[in-house]
Amino acid sequence: MNKKELSLYFSKFRDGDKSAFESIYNDMKIPIYTVALRIVQSRETAEDVTQEVFVKLFSSPPDSSVRDSRAWMFRMARNLSIDALRKKQCSDIDGMEIPTADSTCEAVLKMDIERAIAMLPPVEREIVTLHLNFDMNFSEIAKITGLSMSASYRKYSKAVKALRKMLDGGAL
């Protein structure tokens, strides 16, 4: 679902169409969960945050002045994730599910990538996730993180260099 379609669904939902909310939920639940998971590093907490995003969204959708509903939702997920970290003081990593791979090498590589991403500072982890998993540009990421576009890009570049170093034999 692109930005225009999402805005249209939000408009329909504000006008009372409950099926529009279902469409928003079905399209955005995995991206919202993924952002939350990258921040809180706990499946259970990420599920709670995802649920809280959609409960808040259902009770108070963004008004028509919000230009980018997708970024607005990611920002809410980010803020609620940070709040959850503060409440639970989560710093440990619950085991992350790695999809089954056809080969052992693929599974090991995926585990190494997930561990390397988990070792990044939270802001860098979030930027990498938004850029790579959700094809967001640095202007959109800047809106979500509250950083400037250049700072978002610099943090992304720094994170990619750190990931390369870790995956090329650096400490994991």
In terms of DSSP H, where are the helices of the chain? 3-14, 18-40, 43-59, 69-88, 104-119, 122-128, 134, 138-145, 149-167
Task: Determine the pLDDT at residue 62.
Answer: 83
Segments in the chain below pLDDT 50: 90-104, 172
Task: Determine the pLDDT at residue 112.
Answer: 75
Q: What are 151-160's pLDDT values in tens digits?
A: 999 999 999 9
Task: Determine the pLDDT at residue 14.
Answer: 87
Task: Determine the pLDDT at residue 165.
Answer: 84
Task: Determine the pLDDT at residue 5.
Answer: 87
Burial class of residue 135 (count of CB atoms within 10 Å of its CB; 0-12, 13-18, 19+): exposed
DSSP 159: H
Give the global pTM: 0.60
